[in-house]
Chains A and B, each alone.
Chain A
Amino acid sequence: NAGVMQNPRHLVRRRGQEARLRCSPMKGHSHVYWYRQLPEEGLKFMVYLQKENIIDESGMPKERFSAEFPKEGPSILRIQQVVRGDSAAYFCASSRSGGGTEAFFGQGTRLTVV
């Protein structure tokens, strides 16, 4: 019974490049959430998705960031034209029911922008 799978675990990008982070939810979970964790900061909500729908993107920066959860395949968090301030740990979580309750997290992708 695999948990939430995220890849890659570590990603290095030069400023201006694109970063793609992938997340496969736990089996039977149709709700996916993305969070960002900066050093010495708490986890900050970014976006909540169900299959083919964005439910809540109130935490997403207005520019350069996008997320999708297609009918087939993993959820993708995409960051275009990365800047140094995007360096952080990005966590994906999934839950069986909506609302974020009883959400299980993956091991995260650590993005470093050089």
Chain B
Amino acid sequence: DAGVIQSPRHEVTEMGQEVTLRCKPISGHNSLFWYRQTMMRGLELLIYFNNNVPIDDSGMPEDRFSAKMPNASFSTLKIQPSEPRDSAVYFCASSFGGSSRGYTFGSGTRLTVV
């Protein structure tokens, strides 16, 4: 199993540009999570999908952020327009059967908005 795959690994973009982060969860996992990690705030849950349906997006900071999961093997997190304060490492994680079995995280996308 290749694990959770995220792309790109690094993204540098100018303020105001659209950014799209991608995630391929582990096959068979029915839950997908997007997290953001910064030194100041640690790991923050942005959105949670179960069986491709968004269940909780209360962690999405602003309307500039949106996430989709068109099928069980693919999800995107989009920021439009991006701002310097969005700079962080964004992680995708997947699991089967909820949180009690633990999450498998991807390697993350380091986003820098200049």
Are A and B subunits of one complex? no
